[in-house]
Structure 1
């Protein structure tokens, strides 16, 4: 995970962890927070001597020497690698659809709602893989009638959001809803 030798010291582990945080933090990539939590747990285990001994004993790493995270090198012709990369890219895009997204909204509130709080119903757009064509958009012969060939079904769900006072115009309000991070910018309703 950290691409460090098995017998790496604390400084090497910390340095590798910092690099991984910069590269894979959920705010920087589309990586889910669960993957980032696993990264943090691995760091905690490797930096705590007791937990590291237990970890080593549990998976039998005490017998190994050298780089535990060594990479397997395979000689693959470049034209086959290009095809492989294209296929991987297609599946990455296809599998990313239902993952976490950041959505931004502007909410217009009345003066009394800024003072007393507000209960707002928000329509949250959703995307899911088409259950009839499994995200392929149809077959060679026909286009899927359900998703119209896109491979995804777009819909929205209404959700009630409770905003507690004090609220201010221009304030940013953020919360999690299922797989989405919702960001609201509060505005004063001029009507």
Structure 2
């Protein structure tokens, strides 16, 4: 399975940066205060490690690291954070749909809304199959009508760029299946990068 980035490489990079910056800061301190003990190096390395972990774990910083890494490796999974809209097609009809996606280096959360229901993510896994980015998505749907039963579904999204009015935008497209033995197709297109946008219908 292909995750967004290679965590083995990321950990090696974090360790290398920790050692480098810890020694550099310690050398700088020694330059101005030659009597500083070696114990300070361990304190500095702990602080540098904590800072690097915070930066890597922060969504704001992670997206910048991610964008930078995509400059060197275009095959990395695209950044799908933001607001989306499209439709759900099923036997006998179609519903408009809106979603907000919050994605970090370690997880992907999709909140999908239609005029009659809300869905939350139970599990999502970004993968690359023969160079094609895809997103496995398992969700729980809560209908607006309290008399309707809550159910679960799964979708395998193709993640691709499409041309819309001469502009290149990201699209998620795939078939869904539910435990109510229903199926259909979901298509969503990214309309913005704001992960805080309200996309609910009710």
User: Normalising by structure 2, what TM-score?
Assistant: 0.25
When Rg is computed on C-alpha atoms for both structures, the one with the higher figure is 1
> Which structure is higher in strand share?
2
> Which structure is higher in helix share?
1
